[in-house]
Amino acid sequence: MISRLNRFIPDQFLLLLLATLLLASMLPVRGIWAPRFDMLTNVAIAMLFFLHGAKLSREAIMQGIGAWRLHLMVLATTFALFPIVGLGANLLLAPFINPLLAMGLLYLCILPSTVQSSIAMTSIARGNVPAAVCSASLSNLLGIFLTPLLASLFFQGKGGMDGDFFLSAVGNIMLTLLLPFVLGHLSRPMTGAFMDRHKALIMRVDRGAILLVVYTAFSAAIVEGLWSRISIQDLTLIILANLALLFIILFLTRLVSRVAGLPVEDETVLVFCGSKKSLASGVPIAGALFPVAQVGFIILPVMIFHQLQLLVCATIAQRYARRADAAALAKVQLHTV
């Protein structure tokens, strides 16, 4: 009973995000401190992606790279199916919610998959972990290119974002995201052992960088009147839309898995890697893509989706695990008869 109730308790990182949001609401960065925090945020983003590159193990990728058909299905779900469903949701909700939140909902749909939680859920479900490592890592790497590309297609002319703005944003992404990522990965022969030994410390630094970006973004949004421009109806509709998106994608990934005849171990990879969206990548990419005053609005749906995907997918992973354990037990009993 207690373990079931624990699934409904927000994870520690979400509580830190909420505390950061409260701090930004009470003490937003203003005046001469705003550009200084923007500069500090850019440094934090570069460090974040350096760590992402340094954590990427070539050995783990090589173990799962053979499942190319599965990886293509995950990528198609993340960067094609999800955006198509998101476009439909955006068209339905746009007349009823704040336009920037509607953009945030669509932005959520073009983000890459998570890495840590996708692998963790696949592992819990007794799935193909090496394939999950490869799929999630590939999704994150391609997201540096594909997310800005899709954003330029979907958001052109919205919120003052024209071709020149996106050209500048892509240059910013190359400098603050891609270059540190590549340098981090190239440094792995020297830093890999340290990264592997200090995973808890690296995670704290990783999350600290995200919290700094969130604080700076929401500070700018608060100064622009975030809470006076978002109603209870807006938040309710965004939560419901996020739930609908998640369940639609979960249903479709399971359906595609069954139609394609994937073994259950690969099905879990498609379900969990395909249905996840990365807060760790979404926050810094938004900071590079959108005007600073809009970032707080844009990432709010991503923060909500983050907790929903953990809650729902943890429940599904445990069901997969029970089925796998039952099948293994039945196999053992059959051989002992």
Higher pLDDT, 10 or 131: 131
Give CA–CA dist 319/250, Å, rounded.
14
296/298 Cα distance (integer angstroms): 6
* Residue 4, pLDDT above cutoff 80: no
- pLDDT of 1 above 50: no
Mean pLDDT of the 227-238 span: 87
> Which of 313, 308, 312, 287 lies closest to 299 in space, CA to CA?
287
Contacts of 175 (CB under 8 A, 6+ apart): none
Residues 110, 83: contact at Cβ < 8 Å? yes
- Residue 76 exposed, middle or buried by CB count within 10 Å (0-12, 13-18, 19+): middle
Local structure of residue 11 (DSSP, 8 states): P
Asked if the model's pLDDT at residue 264 lies above 60, the reply is yes
Least confident interval from 83-97, 202-216, 241-255: 202-216
% of the chain beyond a pLDDT of 70: 86
Contact assessment for residue 48 and residue 242, using Cβ atoms and an 8 Å cutoff: no
More confident residue, 59 or 245: 245
Q: What is the mean pLDDT of residues 308-320?
A: 88
Of all helices (H) and strands (E), which one includes residue 323?
A: helix 292-336
* pLDDT of the residue at 225: 75
42-51, 124-133, 277-286, 299-308: the lowest-pLDDT one: 42-51
Least confident of 3-17, 209-223, 315-329: 3-17
DSSP 198: T
Any idea which fold 10-336 has? Na+/H+ antiporter like fold (1.20.1530)
Query: What angle, 0 to 180 degrees and rounded to 10, lies between the N-to-C axes of helices 279-289 and 163-173?
Result: 130
- Check whether 5 has a pLDDT greater than 50: no
| pLDDT band (50, 70, 90) for residue 168 | low
Give me the phi and psi of 148, to 5 degrees please: -60, -35
Give the integer Cα–Cα distance in Å for 118 and 275: 9
Q: Supply the pLDDT for residue 2.
A: 43
Give the sign of the dihedral formed by CA 35, CA 38, CA 40, CA 42: negative
Q: What pLDDT digit, counting tens, does each position of 147-167 carry?
A: 888 888 888 766 555 556 566
- CA-based nearest residue to 137, from 121, 153, 105, 114: 114
The domain limits of the chain are: 10-336
Mean pLDDT throughout 81-99?
91
Q: 17-21, 202-206, 330-334 — which is least confidently predicted?
A: 330-334
pLDDT interval class at 254 (50, 70, 90): very high
**Token pair listed for 218:** 């929401």
